[in-house]
Amino acid sequence: MPTTVDVTTPSDREIAVTRSFDAPAQLIFDCHTRPEYVQRWLLGPPDWSMPVCEIDLRAGGRYRYVWRNDAGEGEFGVQGEYREISAPGRLVHTETMDGTEGEALCTLTLVDQDGRTTLTTNMLFPSREIRDQALESGMTDGMSTSYDRLEDVLGEKVA
Amino acid sequence: MMQPQNLDATFSALADPTRRAILGRLASGEASVMELARPFAMSQPAISRHLKVLEEAGLIRRGRDGQRRPCHLEIKPMIEANAWIERYRELWEATYQRLDSLLEEIGAATGPTGE
């Protein structure tokens, strides 16, 4: 079954990303909370890896992810604190990107129905300016390798 | 590049069906407020209020042609807002396709019962 990601902006300060998966909720939950799994898929552009993935999975526990460009040209990290852990349906944590001000509150919701799972990640930012920055820069500023290419394309279309 | 606060104004302005219809009309050429009001069965002041929102979002520009002040489409912000959302979406698409592969691999290793 073809699946596509849906991105919406429910309010001035939010981004919601929804997608369905052909897998049970618990497996998807594990893929978000076990370092050996997280490091396999949460990677951004193709030439980036995640050498650092530390997860202390308990309410009040912290996590830290660091991505690195294979060419050694860039490094970028995020960190935060777990607020609520209710496997397999719900995971709430804060998120701060390296080099930025302000903390986002991220809520992962997994709804299992007839063997398929609908995943929703809702990100609530401290202000709409920070929300828009996150939206504009793609997943992370440091990983936006196609940024310049997009500007070229936009330049052609609107010139 | 567009300022973040404008991006938000663009999304708000595009949320209204009348305003989207006005943009559709302007895509085929400039029009005065009177010309725009005609197909919508709305008063000119009501249309003017919509035009003000569109103008503030940078989606249209009002001419200085005397009384007529024709409206022009100013498409750039709309293209940019859509492009940012689309690019963000594509990043997640690629990321979740990797998750699909991983889920398949783990599922095959643990079997259908999850053991």
Q: What is the number of structural domains in chain A?
A: 1
**Residue A59 Cα, gap to closest chain B Cα (Å):** 25
Q: Which domain holds residue B95?
A: 4-110
Q: Is residue B115 part of a domain?
A: no
CATH number at residue B23: 1.10.10.10
Q: Is residue A1 part of a domain?
A: no
Q: Is residue A49 part of a domain?
A: yes
Q: Is ipTM over 0.90?
A: no
State mean pLDDT over B1-13. Answer: 65
CA-CA distance, A17 to B18, in Å (whole number)? 27
The pLDDT value given to residue B6 = 64
Query: Does B102 contact chain A (CB < 8 Å)?
Result: yes
Are the beta carbons of A42 and B4 separated by less than 8 Å?
Answer: no
Q: Is residue A94 part of a domain?
A: yes
The pLDDT-based confidence of B85 (bands split at 50, 70, 90) is confident
Are the beta carbons of B92 and A139 separated by less than 8 Å?
Answer: yes
Sign of CA dihedral A133, A135, A139, A141: negative
Are the beta carbons of B92 and A5 separated by less than 8 Å?
Answer: yes
Are the beta carbons of B4 and A30 separated by less than 8 Å?
Answer: no
The pLDDT value given to residue B78 = 65
Q: Between B8, B80, B104, which is nearest A154 by CB?
A: B80
DSSP string, chain B: ---HHHHHHHHHHHT-HHHHHHHHHHTT--B-HHHHHGGGT--HHHHHHHHHHHHHTTSEEE--STTT--EEE--HHHHHHHHHHHHHHHHHHHHHHHHHHHHHHHHHHH-TT--
Mutation choice for A interface testing from B75, B86, B103, B115 by most A CBs within 10 A: B103
Q: Which domain holds residue A76?
A: 6-158
CA nearest A158 in B: which residue? B76
pLDDT digits (tens, 9 = 90+) for A77-127: 999 999 999 999 999 999 998 887 789 999 999 999 987 999 999 999 999
Three-point CA angle A145, A150, A152, nearest 5°: 115
The pLDDT value given to residue B113 = 52
CA-CA distance, A61 to A58, in Å (whole number)? 5
Q: Is residue B9 part of a domain?
A: yes
Burial B18-45 (b: 16+ CB within 10 A, else e): ebeebbebbeeeebbbeebbeeeeeeee
Are the beta carbons of A138 and B88 separated by less than 8 Å?
Answer: yes
Q: Is residue B68 part of a domain?
A: yes
Q: Is residue B67 part of a domain?
A: yes
Q: What is the number of structural domains in chain B?
A: 1
State mean pLDDT over B13-36. Answer: 85
Are the beta carbons of B76 and A158 separated by less than 8 Å?
Answer: yes
Q: Is residue A87 part of a domain?
A: yes
Mean pLDDT, chain A, whole residue set: 83
Q: Between B1, B11, B80, which is nearest A9 by CB?
A: B11
The pLDDT-based confidence of B89 (bands split at 50, 70, 90) is confident
pLDDT digits (tens, 9 = 90+) for A47-61: 889 999 999 999 999
Q: Is residue A64 part of a domain?
A: yes
CA nearest B80 in A: which residue? A154
Instruction: Report chain A residues whose CB lies below 8 A from the CB of B9.
Output: none
Are the beta carbons of B88 and A150 separated by less than 8 Å?
Answer: no
Q: Is residue B12 part of a domain?
A: yes
CA-CA distance, B24 to B42, in Å (whole number)? 17
CATH number at residue A132: 3.30.530.20
Give the highest mean pLDDT range of B23-32, B78-87, B95-104.
B95-104
